[in-house]
Amino acid sequence: MKVFKFGGASIETVERALHVAQIIEQHQDEKLVVIVSAKGKTTNALEEIVRAYFNGDINLATTLFQALEKNHNDYAQELLGDEASAAIQKLKEFYTEIEWILAETPVRSFNYYYDQVVSMGELLSTTLIAAYLQKIGLSVKWLDVRDILKTDHNYRDANIHWEETEQHAHRHFDEAFLQHEIIITQGYIGCTDENHTVTLGREGSDYTAAVFANMLNAKSVTIWKDVPSLLNADPKQFPNTIAIPEITFHEVIEMAFYGAQVIHPKTIKPLFSKDIPLYVKCFLDPTLPGTIIHNTTKAIAYPPILVLKRKQILLQVTTKDYSFITENNLSNIYNLFASCKIKINLIQNAAISFVACIDSDLELLEELLTVLQKEYVVKRNEDLFLFTVRHYTEDILQEELKNRTVLLEQKTRQTIQMVVR
């Protein structure tokens, strides 16, 4: 059995969905678990709807939701033609779930409503793709992943109840595979024991694919993307990128950790632990070789890998009484950051001051400043970039730093990290 994951861009238009169906059709030598994201920018649109709802702007929420319904119905019509009505009927059942929510005044947390509403994107997209695959005669079973993937109720970043999910996965997938060749289900979403829908964090569909691959001992996972392969940098940020045909799990997890938006960072661990290779392939041209990500002891020569993280803030925290930044102050400062749920991307400390580079999340930052300023003097520098280069060379640094000012730098043999302007 193999696992395929298709992201939102791969089914953004009906034309692309037909491409996806062709890819699935051509890979029927094996049983397939197909994980699909919400189509196009649906997740972002749903986020807007839930924000409007929670802010009390029901008119806006309703208008936006009607546009989303129309968009999905039109897509269904174009994709399925004469056979659209059954699928649209099923879509309507999902729409009703949201309409019920929008009709009530919110009494629970924003994150709770976020997950109830935003999870809809994947339910709609998988319904459409499954209907099309059935229409062209493939042996397909659609599963509601909420019957399988069980989590705690940490809304928007739910933690999987592993053993329970594994049991459900075996039961549901094994049973479906008795009669079908292809199982299609939703990425990114799950369900609590109390039957509330949750999400696993933005871009979490990659993670879902890895989780099921692990539990079902898949031969491989393939993530179908709109790029020809994994690249050494984001082509939207750097004009000259280089393809990476082969890369280790370790290297990818480092890239993701530094902020490269290649693959959801949680994806690697479940694959690494069962030694399941991960392929990145291009859905626009499946004949391209793509990238293999796996465990290998072979030495791979990598090009410099560039990761540019935007919207960074540099905080300088200085003791008020000239006490040193050693264990006591360090652990105190760390705890204050952690208590405000702020992740530190880079640190450097001197005698009486501590410098941290963090993402700019203004709400969290306000809270952090309030607690820090009780004990320390805090200065900040905004609108910065955190620029990381793995496997750096002097040439690449010279080239990339031409028009930038470096505020802080940290270097090991493999990696250089700089906070730049």
Q: How far is the CB of 225 from ligand ASP (least distance, A)?
A: 11
Note whether 265 binds ligand ASP by CB under 6 A.
Answer: no
**CB 59, min distance to ligand ASP, A:** 26
Q: Which residue type, as a one-letter code, is found at position 151?
A: T
E runs forming strands in 123-274: 140-142, 150-151, 182-186, 189-192, 197-199, 220-225, 246-248
Q: What is the CA radius of gyration of the chain?
A: 23
Site string for ligand ASP, 140-179 (x = CB under 6 A): ----------------------------------------
Residues in the chain: 421
Least Å from the CB of residue 186 to ligand ASP: 9
Q: How far is the CB of 11 from ligand ASP (least distance, A)?
A: 11
Closest CA to 316 of 284, 279, 352, 341: 352
How many Cβ atoms from other residues are within 10 Å of residue 421's Cβ? 14
Residue of this chain nearest to ligand ASP (CB atom): 205
Q: For ligand ASP, which residue of 127, 205, 291, 329 counts as binding (CB under 6 A)?
A: 205
Based on the number of CB atoms within 10 Å of its own CB, is 130 exposed (0-12), middle (13-18) or buried (19 or more)?
buried
The continuous run of DSSP H or E covering 85 comes out as helix 84-103
37 binds Mg ion (CB under 5 A): yes
CA atoms within 13 A on the CB side of 172: 21
What binding mask, one character per residue, do residues 325-344 give for ligand ASP by CB under 6 A, x or -? --------------------
Yes or no: say if 16 and 168 are a contact pair by the CB < 8 Å rule: no
Q: How many CB atoms lie within 10 A of CB 365?
A: 18
Stretch that binds ligand ASP, among 200-208, 253-261, 290-298, 314-322 (CB under 6 A): 200-208
Residue in the block written with tokens 């997890």: 253
For ligand ASP, give the closer residue by CB, 264 or 309: 264
Does 203 bind ligand ASP (CB under 6 A)? Our answer is yes
Report the alpha-carbon distance of residue 99 to residue 61 in Å, rounded: 10
* Interacting partner of 267 out of ligand ASP, Mg ion, none (Cβ under 5 to 8 A depending on kind): none
Closest to ligand ASP by CB, 45 vs 401, is: 45
Q: Does 190 bind ligand ASP (CB under 6 A)?
A: no
Question: Min. distance of Cβ 17 from Mg ion in angstroms?
Answer: 15
Alpha-carbon span 234 to 218, nearest angstrom? 29
- C-beta closer to ligand ASP: residue 35 or 87: 35
Least spacing, CB of residue 9 vs Mg ion, in Å: 7
Using CB under 6 A, pick the residue from 10, 37, 119, 229 that binds ligand ASP: 37
User: Any contact of residue 197 with ligand ASP (CB under 6 A)?
Assistant: no
420 with 406: CB under 8 angstroms? Answer: yes
Which residue from 266, 34, 280, 37 is spatially nearest to 162, judged by alpha carbons? 266
150: left (phi over 0), alpha (psi -120 to 50) or beta: beta
Question: Is 265 among the residues that bind Mg ion (CB under 5 A)?
Answer: no
Q: Among ligand ASP, Mg ion, none, what does residue 202 contact (CB within 5–8 Å per kind)? A: ligand ASP
Please choose, out of 32-40, 209-217, 391-399, 405-413, the segment that lies near Mg ion by the rule CB under 5 A.
Answer: 32-40
Residue nearest to Mg ion (CB): 8
Q: How far is the CB of 9 from ligand ASP (least distance, A)?
A: 9
CB of 88 to Mg ion, least distance (A): 23
Q: Which amino acid is at 263?
A: I
Those residues whose C-beta lies under 8 Å from the C-beta of residue 218, and which sit 6 or more positions away, are 1, 2, 3, 33, 212, 276
| Residue 204 binds ligand ASP, judged by CB under 6 A | yes
DSSP-derived letter for residue 340 is T
Q: What is the contact surface with Mg ion in residues (CB under 5 A)?
A: 8, 37
Q: What is the contact surface with ligand ASP in residues (CB under 6 A)?
A: 7-8, 37-38, 43, 121, 187-188, 202-205
